[in-house]
Amino acid sequence: MEKLVHPTHCNDFKQASLGFVCAMLALVPMFLFKDSPWLSGYNLFLSTHNVLEITAIAVAVLIFSVGWNTRRFVQNGNLLVFSCLMLAVAVFDFVHTFSYTGMPSFISPSGPEKAINFWLVARFCSALALLVIAVAPWWHIPARRDYFILTAMLVLAFAGSLLMIFFQEFLPSTFIEGQGLTAFKIASEYVLVGLFLFAAVLFSVGLRSPKTSANTSALLVSSLLMAVSEIFFTLYQEVTDTYNFFGHVYKILAYVFLYRAIFVEAVTRPHLHLAEEVATRQQQAEDLAHQVRLNESLLELSNIAAEHNDASFLAYAVEHARYVVPSAGAALYEATNGELELLMQSGEASTALNYVDLAELRRRGSFCASSGEMHVLAVQSKSGEEHQKVIVLLDPERFFSARDAQMLTVWLESTLTWCVRLEQEQQVNLLSLAVEQNPNPIFITDIDARIEYANKAYFESSGYSPEELIGQDPKVTGSGRTPKSVFADLWSNILNGNPWSGELINRHKNGGEVVEMTTIFPLKDRQGNIVKYISFKNDVTKSIENEKKIHQLSFFDQMTGLPNTSSYQANFAALGGEAQMGSSALLYINLDNFKLINDALGIEAGNRVLCNIAERLQRLAQHDCKVYRISGDVFAMLLENSDIRAAGEWAVKVLNTVRAPMRIEDQNTLVTASIGLVEFANNKAGADEVLQHAEIAMYEAKKKGRNNFQVYSDKLHAGASEQLALLSTLNFALERQEFSLVFQPQVTMNERRIVGVEALLRWHSSELGEVSPGQFIPLAERSGLIGEIDKWVFREAARQARIWQDEGLHEVVISVNLSASRFDDPDLVQSLTSIAKEEGIAPGTIELELTEAVALQNPEQALITISALRKAGFRVALDDFGTGYSSISYLKRFGFDKLKIDKSFVDDLTIENTTDVAIVRGIIALAKSLKMATVAEGVETEEQWRSLQELGCDEVQGYIFSRPLPPDQIAELLARL
């Protein structure tokens, strides 16, 4: 539709189309009554004909009147010609009316042919008039000589009338009485139909272009109705025929649309344009008044801003907001964290926020509303700053418009612009003070390198006065020792618009040299041209001296003087770069039991041992062998371009060198070492990787009894990787609830009665399956996970004791192993007591099993902790007695409740094995003398049982009675006994 009718014609086109459809629907009743006899009489038809023609004449005259009288206002030559032609149409229709059959003689006798001749001429004039309007978009007739055009049309009408009145016999015949219309008459009508349809086509083409002024849609419908009218005039046989009547009716309808189109264009539309112009002028006058008030206030605002008084500036801004947009009150707010905080107000504005919809204001940026008693206008600043400003105007009588909102927005943004400008000026002043008072030397030169400005620090650092430096080249402070290449690089950068940084060697006025870290960069104008150079200086003379000290601190161990890990990394990288082929070796040296030296002799003595070892290794090393202190008691030897055989020889030398006795604290001290050895390709290995492999080999040497060296292999790496994977999985075992407890009964020798059970930890990993305690318990101790595991075991054991008690089973003591590392926890006793209380059991229900490592680590602290545990009600047993370093003095001081005889003494316990019998008899006798009970672990045979019984052991634990069982089976066993 939009391709056929331009959107500007749509409204007119819809109305005209509706009129055309209604006009065409009128054909239905017309054809229904076309044979009715009520119009067949001459008198009735003649009266009807006269009424229709007089109406047509009146419309034609009105069209002429409108077009003629508006010719000076509507400069349209086509419309003027059209109007004059319609006057001619009115003249010819007038003569046609008085020439119709039945009318009195008008100059000459009336008759059908006389009337038809005037009819045809009038119709051709109307067709020509429509064509003049239709071709207006393509052919404009000049709007001049209006009287000439009118006179020409009147002369045409007068001459034509005289011709058809007095010389009718010379004209072609149009009607034969009794036969009807002639061929000439019918052909003339079809020519008229064609002309009207051609005009309609031109009007339809004009609908595709934007509308200018004419109602093209009404003109289109008028042309179509004219064509319909002419078709009816080809159908009648008698002058009183109903087709003749229908033709006159559609002519009147066409004239109505024609008049409407001309009247709207010539009269209505100019008046509308005039009204719009008046309204526009009024609006412009009001806008001008607003603009005058705004400009006046903005000018004064700039004067107030020049005073640099923020308080008076804001007060003026809020007060004059009421002048720019007249109102009773005004208030300025700051939006912070979604809330509005009042900054300044003027007039009656204390209740301003009660009338503002804040959500609507934030969404649209402005808010304008009337609540009946108050009219409100609020505007929010458009800046994207964190703290936005909001100004609100109130007035009980005056409505606020969109123009008011626009003016208030301009005022607010202008106010905030001045605020930003004032803040920037303050920042500039602050920056100026910062440059002048900056402790670092700063100076600015022109593009010819002449000093234009220098701050106080520059004059003080150089020793020169302003008079001596301003206008001079900065090279007057130079020492002449800065390489020329430095200056070449400096000028190459700054002349290309790039900053430059580097060290310059300058000279103080007193002659002393200083090294200054200098940064110079060009200052550019808005066009990008370099206009100044600015230089920042910093005296780094002392810093350079400090760098040497820092290098010493960064790459050398401060205690031994050996290169440190950073040096090792740097040397390793250089090794790969210098010798791309071949292989080298690394010795990873870790002192054995060094912690015992620190604990026994003190840290100072331990440090002297480390320094002594470092001196020995340095004396042993040659030019292709470098010694490093990696950490603590760990050293390394990097053997450049060495194979595994030579590295092994070096390892033997190191072991012998370290093992030599040394005099510390007036006593001979013997230190041994465990060494890991790895060979690597110079161009493939990484420093950390080699160090890691050597460490793995060192741990293998520890396992092999210390004081030896081991060579790294893939098998060792696989073992370490397996341990790492196991540790990774163990780290999540508690979280995944993969641990469980089993319990092994402890029974009396004589009655075989269960008096206790030992809680044993089991781990079923979702990834690894069943994992032996011998694998994961030592790993947990080394990794620090044993503390959390111990807590879990203790709580689970306490909970199980509570369950058995609730089931009515006789009370048994549950033995729980406690790691030696737990004794470092100062809250150990309180933690265990709290868990027992939470689970609702007495502390005496739990027996804590400790190993001899507790006494070795910190005997005094162990004594305090064990005493506190026993005082809290817990039983304490010493596990694996006889396998470590226990002494009778420890047993006597600690006061254990029970000694557990290790399985290693029970495995071969027979009457014939006198050694083990003697050891077990001694342990039992010692325990009895100290009033401690004894428990033998790992009892599996009757012969072991009888031997222990004869030796006086109190209790046993082992497969001879029961293997470790889950809680429910222990419950069944307790229920049977």
- SS3 for 276-336 is HHHHHHHHHHHHHHHHHHHHHHHHHHHHHHCCCCHHHHHHHHHHHHHHHCCCCEEEEEEEE
pLDDT, position 816: 92
Q: How far is CA 236 from the centre of its chain?
A: 84
> How far is Cα 143 from Cα 121, in angstroms, rounded to an integer?
25
CA nearest 552: which of 564, 540, 541? Answer: 564
pLDDT tops 90 at residue 492: no
pLDDT tops 70 at residue 366: yes
> How far is Cα 475 from Cα 486, in angstroms, rounded to an integer?
13
pLDDT tops 50 at residue 579: no
pLDDT, position 27: 67
Three-point CA angle 80, 81, 86, nearest 5°: 100
pLDDT, position 847: 92
Residue 842 dihedral angles phi and psi, to the nearest 5°: -80, 140
Per the structure block, which two tokens stand in for 697?
A: 């080999």
Residue 839 dihedral angles phi and psi, to the nearest 5°: -85, -5
Mean pLDDT computed over 904-929: 82
pLDDT, position 296: 63
Q: Give me the helices (H) in 704-819, please.
A: 714-730, 773-783, 786-806
pLDDT, tens digit, 9 for 90 and up, residues 340-359 = 878 788 887 777 777 777 77
pLDDT, position 963: 92
Strands 846-850 and 875-881: parallel
Q: Name which residue leads in pLDDT, 117 or 807.
A: 807
Top-confidence range, 242-256, 449-463, 589-603, 751-765: 751-765
> How far is Cα 823 from Cα 843, in angstroms, rounded to an integer?
18
H or E segment to which residue 119 belongs: helix 112-134
Per the structure block, which two tokens stand in for 214?
A: 């004419």
pLDDT, position 777: 81
CA nearest 344: which of 353, 333, 354, 355? Answer: 333
Residue 596 dihedral angles phi and psi, to the nearest 5°: -65, -35
Q: Name which residue leads in pLDDT, 527 or 660.
A: 660
Name every residue whose Cβ is closer than 8 Å to that of residue 274 and which is 6 or more positions away in sequence: none
Q: Name which residue leads in pLDDT, 141 or 687.
A: 687
Half-sphere exposure of 505 (CA within 13 A, CB side): 11
Strands 442-445 and 530-539: antiparallel
Asked if 814 and 759 count as a contact pair (C-beta separation under 8 A), the reply is yes
Burial class (CB in 10 A: 0-12, 13-18, 19+), 676: buried
Give the whole-number percent of the chain exceeding pLDDT 70.
74
pLDDT, position 544: 62
pLDDT, position 383: 62
pLDDT, tens digit, 9 for 90 and up, residues 865-893 = 888 888 889 999 888 776 655 556 666 77
Top-confidence range, 243-257, 276-290, 394-408, 719-733: 394-408
Supply the DSSP symbol for 965.
Answer: B
> How far is Cα 139 from Cα 145, in angstroms, rounded to an integer?
17
Residue 235 dihedral angles phi and psi, to the nearest 5°: -110, -20
pLDDT tops 90 at residue 956: yes
> How far is Cα 927 from Cα 97, in angstroms, rounded to an integer?
154
Query: How many helices (H) and strands (E) are present in the chain, helices listed first?
Result: 33, 28
pLDDT, position 326: 81
Residue 608 dihedral angles phi and psi, to the nearest 5°: -65, -35
Residue 395 dihedral angles phi and psi, to the nearest 5°: -160, 130
pLDDT tops 70 at residue 36: no
> How far is Cα 567 from Cα 554, in angstroms, rounded to an integer?
8
CA dihedral of residues 300, 301, 304, 306 (deg, nearest 10) = -110
pLDDT, position 957: 93
CA nearest 298: which of 383, 412, 395? Answer: 412
CA dist 380 → 305, 319, 361, 388, 417 (Å)? 22, 17, 7, 7, 14
pLDDT, tens digit, 9 for 90 and up, residues 316-330 = 777 777 777 788 888
Mean confidence (pLDDT) of the chain: 76
Burial class (CB in 10 A: 0-12, 13-18, 19+), 118: buried
Three-point CA angle 664, 669, 674, nearest 5°: 125
Mean pLDDT computed over 457-475: 79
pLDDT, position 101: 67
